[in-house]
């Protein structure tokens, strides 16, 4: 025996979104876009957020005496 759903998910979502405040919609959209960008960055980099390599920091992110001070900049 098959039970028919008593709630239409599309209608329920439509009702709640039509009554939502603009701030809520902005927050939901921001969260969704950030999740998409994070997933894309993870795919491009081949590592998830916060993942570390066993060899330590890369030269681009390393700090210390080995990194020289930048020279003169024309806009200063």
**Span 66-76, pLDDT tens digits:** 555 556 666 65
Q: Give residue 45's pLDDT band: very low, low, confident or very high (50, 70, 90).
A: confident
**Span 22-40, pLDDT tens digits:** 888 888 899 999 999 988 8
What's the whole-number average pLDDT of the chain? 75
CA distance 65 to 67: 5
38 touches 48 (CB < 8 A) = no
pLDDT at position 31? 93
Q: What are phi and psi of 2, to 5 degrees?
A: -100, 135
CA distance 45 to 39: 10
29 touches 23 (CB < 8 A) = no
């Amino acid at each position: 025996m098959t039970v028919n759903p008593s709630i239409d998910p599309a209608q329920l979502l439509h009702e709640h979104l039509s009554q939502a405040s603009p701030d809520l919609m902005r927050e939901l959209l921001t969260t969704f876009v950030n999740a998409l960008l994070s997933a894309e960055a993870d795919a491009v980099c081949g590592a998830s957020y916060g993942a570390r390599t066993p060899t330590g920091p890369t030269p681009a992110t390393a700090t210390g005496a080995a990194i020289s001070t930048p020279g003169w900049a024309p806009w200063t």
